[in-house]
Amino acid sequence: MHSFQWATGAAMLASSISASATQYATPEEAAKRCFPMATAFKEISAQLTPDQMRAVVTASGLPARSASWRLMQALDAEQVLGVVVFDGVVGKYELIDYAVGIAADGKVRHVEILNYRESHGYEVRLPAWRKQFVGKGADAKLRVGEDIANISGATLSTTNITDGVRRIVAVVATLKAHGKV
């Protein structure tokens, strides 16, 4: 009897652990969701110089985090529609992988959650919350409690994703200003 209870408990624990780690999209799927009208995507990696990293800090108020960034250009008949930038931030304890589609005009087109590993706060995946970023560019505050709503129980996830989007908007603006995207 005890071994049955132990096995049942172990199975329940294993299912609850795996239920909290969810992959919602691959990078390719996210790129297509960000730019459904694109006919092709071209993967590029962008390298920021030290001066460009300082420009990102100035523009976003956040550390540039990395000099190397993975992007996909969204193309339609060889015209660049925009870029999709891939990043990850820590929620409360675990990494959240996400993608941000930035249109050619520098405005956020779409935010997509790729992988969510936390046991709480999955509401950041809800379309209504992610839609708050659409149309915002380098001139937007992009701050939780100001122009982005907080989600009770997901405060760290909402704050860190919002900061990440603000950083990505600044990275893309900096890269664009230097002819790299």
User: pLDDT means per 10 residues in the chain (181 residues)?
Assistant: 44 43 91 97 94 95 91 92 96 92 97 91 92 95 93 92 97 93 85
Q: What is the DSSP pairing of strand 68-76 with strand 79-90?
A: antiparallel
Q: What is the Cα–Cα distance from 54 to 174, expressed in whole angstroms?
A: 10
Specify the pLDDT at position 150.
94
pLDDT score, position 78: 75
Q: Phi first, then psi: what are they for 164, rounded to 5°? A: -65, -45
> CA torsion angle for 70, 81, 22, 66 (degrees, to 10)?
20
Contact 99, 27 (CB under 8 A): yes
Instruction: Report how far residue 109's alpha carbon sits from residue 72's, in angstroms, rounded to the nearest whole number.
Output: 14
**What residues have CB less than 8 Å from 92, skipping those under 6 apart?**
118, 120, 121, 156, 157
d(CA 62, CA 57): 5
Query: How many of the other CB atoms lie within 10 Å of CB of 174?
Result: 25
In the block, which residue shows the tokens 């999209």?
A: 25
Whole-prediction pTM:
0.86
Q: How many CB atoms lie within 10 A of CB 37?
A: 8
Order the strands of the 108-116 sheet from edge to edge. Answer: 22-23, 108-116, 95-103, 79-90, 68-76, 40-47
